[in-house]
Structures are given as C-alpha cells and as structure tokens.
Amino acid sequence: MTRPRRVAWARYGYVLVGGVFAACVVVQVYVAGMAVFVDPANWSLHAGFVHVFEPLLPILLALAFLGRLPRPLKLAPVGLFVLLSVQYTTASAFGSMVAAVHPVNALAIFLVALLATRRAWQFASGSAAEP
C-alpha cells in the first residue's frame, strides 16, 4: 500500500525534528559542563538555550499526527514536555536533594528523544509495519 506524500514527508520531518531536539539536549549538557568546568557565566546560556529547542515539541506532535505515526510516537512529545517541566522544577530547587534529579532527568529526556526518533525512522524508511 502506498502512503500519501504528505504522510511520508511528515514522518521524515519527525525524524529530522526529533534528531535536532536530541542534538540540542547534547548541546545543553555541554553548555552545563562549560558552566561547571570553564566559567560560571555560562549558566545564563544554559538557562536560555532550552528556550531555543523546547518549541520543537509541538512541531513533533503535529508531525506525528500528520505522519499517521503510532500512539507511542504521538505521546513522546507530550512525555518530553512533562520531562522538561520536571527540569524547570528541579532547576529551581537549587541547593536541595531535588536538584540532583536535574542531570538524571536530562538523560531521560535524551533517551526518550533518541528512541522516538529511531522508531520514527523505522516508519519513515518503511522497515516497520504500518500502524
């Protein structure tokens, strides 16, 4: 069965945007490392950079629906939004044990983004069964 071109393009778009999001998480962790090991002035860059890539989540959600992707790939951007909310909460708890969750949650964000992108690639490339 041939799928419409817009579905194919949306699936490739999901892969692209998901990959960019995951790469931005890596950059965000790198900037945090710069703040810890090079210059604390980089904390402002760390705090601000998230605003560059968090708008990708609604785009991912729209692409999941346009691409007729399965429910887990539609829920992934919602889950990432929840995990980002946890990031904001743990960042504002600086100096407490809750703040220690912040870097661990960053790993969870990266893992979810990476797994969703990988799974979307399987649908985009045709190697996964249609939902």
pLDDT at site 74:
98
pLDDT at site 2:
73
Domains, in order of start, for the chain:
5-125 (1.20.120)
List of the chain residues with pLDDT < 70: 1
What dihedral angle (degrees, nearest 10) is formed by the CA atoms of 82, 65, 58, 54? 70
* pTM reported for the whole predicted model: 0.94
pLDDT at site 17:
98
Query: HSE on the CB side for 98, CA within 13 Å?
Result: 9
pLDDT at site 1:
57
pLDDT at site 126:
87
Tokens of 25: 């998480």
69-73 CB contacts, 8 Å cutoff, 24+ apart: 69/11, 69/14, 69/120, 69/123, 69/131, 70/123, 70/131, 71/131, 72/116, 72/119, 73/14, 73/116, 73/119, 73/120, 73/123
The model's pLDDT over 42-68, given as tens digits with 9 standing for 90+, comes to: 999 999 999 999 999 999 999 999 999
